[in-house]
Each structure stands twice: as structure tokens, then as C-alpha cells.
Amino acid sequence: MKNSSWIRAWMGKEPKGGSTKEHRVSRADKPEVAPRNLWRLAASLLILQGVWLGSPAQAQRSDRKPLSYGHLLQKIDACKTESTLSPATTCQISKVEIDPSRSVAKVHLTGQQATEPPQDVVLLDQNNELIEKLRNANIAFDVEPTADNTAALGLVMNLFLLFLLMAGLMMILRRSASSSGQALNFGKSRARFQMQAKTGVFFNDVAGIEEAKEELQEVVTFLKETERFTALGARIPRGVLLVGPPGTGKTLLAKAVAGEAGVPFFSISGSEFVEMFVGVGASRVRDLFKKAKENAPCLIFIDEIDAVGRQRGAGIGGGNDEREQTLNQLLTEMDGFEGNTGIIVIAATNRPDVLDTALLRPGRFDRQVTVDLPGYNGRLGILEVHARNKKLASEVSLDAIARRTPGFSGADLANLLNEAAILTARRRKDEIGILEIDDAIDRVTIGMTLNPLLDSKKKRLIAYHEVGHALLMTLLENSDPLNKVTIIPRSGGIGGFAQQVFNEEMVDSGLYTRAWLIDQITIFLGGRAAEEEVFGYDEVTKGASSDLRAVSNLCREMVTRYGMSDLGPVALESPDSEVFLGGGWTTRAEYSEEVATKIDQQVRAIAMSCYEKARRLMRENRPLIDRLVDILLDRETIEGEQFRQIVAEYTQLPEKQMAVTR
């Protein structure tokens, strides 16, 4: 019995120590095959096929004790003995069905019910003894082999495996063909091409840069009514260079030109020309202009042209690198031996100082359009454009927002209204109100609001520092008025701030007077002066570090660039220039060491004079400062009008100083 059980376990028909069902579950729990390795998958399928097809059928589970081959022979012998001695005795075996293909015999016992399944007995390879004993015992038996579909199923599995291998091979060949095609197309232009530019932007969608729009309107007219100009001998401009600070709308203008012109339009970035392979950039330039000539008249827009148009020979030893080859090819295509009639190139950059002079000459870029920061009317127009899809409250005035945002670019104004809309949604309001606009301006210019500080020495020190700035903004005659002062911290390490409303005309024109600059330096030093007057020299903190840097830079510019010192009306330094832009290999001092000493003395004299003035005003108004600090600690924010009313109780300021410049 033990040996036969071991034989069945060895043959795989019944696992040792467990049932057949448990054996099937253990096979199903094999780890999944990684789909990325094709050969490992194929080998696994082949092994699975052999295991699946080679495994004999499993015996059905029964509640009865399994009948072994030895027990079956004993029962047959008993039937034979009983039949000879006492024919009336009933044999325990009524019928035996032998399946030689599965090596299994189904034994029907005497007296068992019809619903009960027969017992399966595993047979040996040769069963002549069993058949002979069944005949001698007069037991009915039948030999019926079951249909064997193993060969057909194995053929199907082999065909499926072959199909899987062929599909993987085709996928590998297709990828290799695609890679080789890309390798041959390195020199092709990557410019986006549209027969009629569908940018969705027109001149009506561009505001705040009317002068630039007028310049580019002529380009659109050139493209639409070419004969009107050529009949008079006029030549269509070869190129237009858009120059201006970031966010002023250079790319938006190019989209508007494409939308208005209605001609084929190519757009590409300067960085897309140059690759790591030699000659690729020049090849792409040739391919771009070849396609443009086939579709002339057309527009080519190159964004950030400074990535490929920098001055040649700027590196150490000059060099003939890939970028220079690309630039040389671009120069030749724009105005070379063949020319490019009917093609207008529009380029944008915020670094015109680094561009090669050959690229800027007439014939290549005939026009340079400056897209500068918008003035009041420009900011108002930009706000009207971006407010079309915003739900503004009735009390919100775009005119007031435009007056409060001098120096903002178009991108800054768009971001301002977007931040206000986000704040409105977070606060679960239906319309954008004045509070959201104010918070959005602070978030864009200064930073995100953080949790207020607890009442402590640090909070009181910050309050004295900011009140020192705000008081000088109110007391000094030539300063711009205070907008608000707060001690609510902001992101970036800002503990508080005092904000001015700058004169729009002065900011737009850049014509700052000496009196305004002196008062501005004094305001920068107001926080440090308040700390020293209230807490003493030993308690001065590093909170004024950014103010001191601003003072040093402003004083030095007054002495060396603006001629606003005792050294006279001379410019001793030029604006900072970048390194390796082709301007020369070495830098030389523009003044002697003696003049350098005098410059340092003048810078220090201006700073110390303003600092003494700030400390004097702090001493004279010490009770006022203490009251303002107490109010600021209680409210955490004081608006400019409230601040001036408190100051007016202690001082008699000129009426013009009490007015709020909005």
C-alpha cells in the first residue's frame, strides 16, 4: 500500500501529502513572466506546454478510501474463490472499465448507488494478469481508450509559440528601421509648418504695445499686398527682430502676425537647430529655408534666436564649433548670394547685446522692434484683455489696478489676474473682489503669505524695522507715498515689508532725480536706523542685509555712472557686461587707483550722510514710532492712509504729502 502510494506520487497523479486539487493550486501560483524579455517568455511557454500536455489526467477526488492495484487483485481473487465454492455468494466487484490511454481502471462496486462515481485504480504499463483474472472470475469488464487530444493541442501550442516569435521579430525589425530612418533625418528641419497659421491670436488680442503692433502691421501688409510696394520700388524687409524684456509679449506678437497674415507659417526655437553632431544645425537651416522658398511668400518665426546667433569667436581661441556653423548658414540664407525673395524672418530675443553684428545689419534684420514694458494705458489695455473671462466684482477698478502696477509686464499682469481668480476659488467666492486683487499683487511682487508670528521679541523687532521704513516714506519730501506696512511673514524669509506707490511717470521714463535717489537711500537705511536707536548697536540684526546691498549699489551708480557726487559729471564705469561675448580677452580698469579710492570715499560719504539723517528722524519721532509699533503689533497691517493719519497727529505735514497718490 505504501509502495503503490509512493508510485502514484512519483508519477504525478497524486501529490505526496496532499490532494490533487491542492496540487493544481500550487501550480497556478507560479510568478508571472516578465513581458519585456521575449526569449524568456518563449522558453517559459515551451516548458509550460510540455508540463501541461505531458501531465496525465488527475484522478477525481472521492470521499471513499482510494482503491489500490493490489486491493483490486485481491478482490478479484476473492470473487473467483466465492464463485467456485458458493455461487450464490455475491462478488464485491460488478464491473471494471479499463482505459489503457490513461492507465486507469474504473471499478464499479456491488451495491453502490448510481449517483456514486466509480473508484479509479492506477494500472501498470502491462495489465495482462488483470484481464486474465477478470475472465476467470467472470467479472464484466470493458476496454475503452479515451480520445487523446494531446497531439492536436501540442500542435496548436507550437503554432502559437511560432506566431509569438515572428511577431517579436517583426517588432524588432520595425524599430531598427525607424531608428535608421531617424539617423538619416538628422539634418531635416524640425520647424512646425502650417499652411495658414491657426494660432487663434490676432492684433485685437494684443494690447499695451501699440508701437510694436504698428511696425508689424506693415509686415502683414507687405505679405498681403506685395505688388503695392514693389510697384514703387520698395523692397520687402528680410527680417524683423523683436527685442524686449521677458514677458512683454514678443512671442504673442509673432502669433498675431501669423494669424493676421494668413500665409504659410514656420515656427522653431533657436535651440532646435544645434545638436551634438557636427553639421546638423547648418543642414537644418538649409532645409528650413528650402521648404520656405517652396511656399513663398511665407513667415519664419525663430524664438530665442540668441541660442544660435551669439557673437562668433567668443570662446577661448575662437573656434569653429557647431553653433558658429549654424549661424554662418543662417546669415547666408537670409542674405547671401542667392537671396530669399518672399520670405520674412521674425525673431525674438531678450538679449540683443549678445547677438552677432552681421546678423543685425540691414538686409538680414532690417528692423528691430523694441517691445518694452507697458505704460499706464498699455497696462490698462492688457488688463482689459485678460479680464474678459474673469468674473470681477463691480467695485473692482481696472484703472486702479493699472495705476498700482508700474513696471509690470504683460505676463505679470496676466499672472496677477490668474492668482486673484485662484484665491477667489479657494475662498469659495463667486466674484473676484478688491481683497483678492490686493493679495494677488502682494503674492506676485513679494511672496506667499505665511502664518503670523507669535507675540515675541522677534515680532517686535520686525515691527520697529518696518515702521522705520514706513515713517521715512511719509516724512521725506521727495519720496513716493506709503501703500501699506505689514509684519505678516512671506515666503523667501521676508518677515514683513513697507510698500510704496511709485510714481508711474518716473518709473516708465527712468528719469530719477538726485533728491529722489537720496531719499530712497535714506528709506533703505530707515529699518537699520530704527533698530539701532531703539535696541542699541549691539542688538542690530542682519535683517537689513538686502537694504545695505541696495544702498551700496545705488550710491556707487550715483558716483560712477550718474555723475551725482563731488567727483563731477563723469561716467567712470559702464554697465555690467557678460563674460566671453567677443568684447576682448582681458578687462582693464577705467580709472586709476587714486580715483578708485575717491570713489569709495564718495560712496561711503553718501551712505553715511543718509544714515545720520535717518537716525535723526528716528530720535525726533521716538514717541510716534512706539505708538505705530503698538498699533502694528495689534493689527499686523496698517494701510497707507491710516498710517498718514496717525503721523498727522504728531507732525504738521504739507498738504501734498497727506494726499495719496494712487
Cβ atoms of residues 343 and 298 within 8 Å: yes
Q: How far apart are CA 140 and CA 485, in angstroms?
A: 111
* Cis amide leading into 297 (omega within 30): yes
138 sits in the region (left: phi over 0; alpha: psi -120 to 50; else beta) called left
Give CA angle at 375 (373, 377), nearest 5°: 135
- What is the separation of C-alpha 133 from the centre of its chain, rounded to a whole number of angstroms? 85
Q: Give Cβ neighbours of residue 436 (< 8 Å, ≥ 6 apart).
A: 420, 421, 423, 424, 427, 429
CB atoms within 10 A of CB 135: 11
Q: How far apart are CA 660 and CA 480, in angstroms?
A: 10
Say how many CA atoms lie within 13 Å of 530 toward its Cβ: 29
Q: How far apart are CA 468 and CA 540, in angstroms?
A: 14
What's the burial of 34, exposed, middle or buried (CB within 10 Å: 0-12/13-18/19+)?
Answer: exposed
Task: Catalytic residue, from 466, 531, 532, 533: name it.
Answer: 466
DSSP E strand boundaries for 489-602: 497-500
Cβ atoms of residues 60 and 104 within 8 Å: no
395: annotated active-site residue:
no
Residue appearing with cell numbers 530707515 = 526
> How close are the terminal C-alpha atoms of the chain, in Å?
106
Say how many CA atoms lie within 13 Å of 134 toward its Cβ: 19
Active site positions, annotated: 466
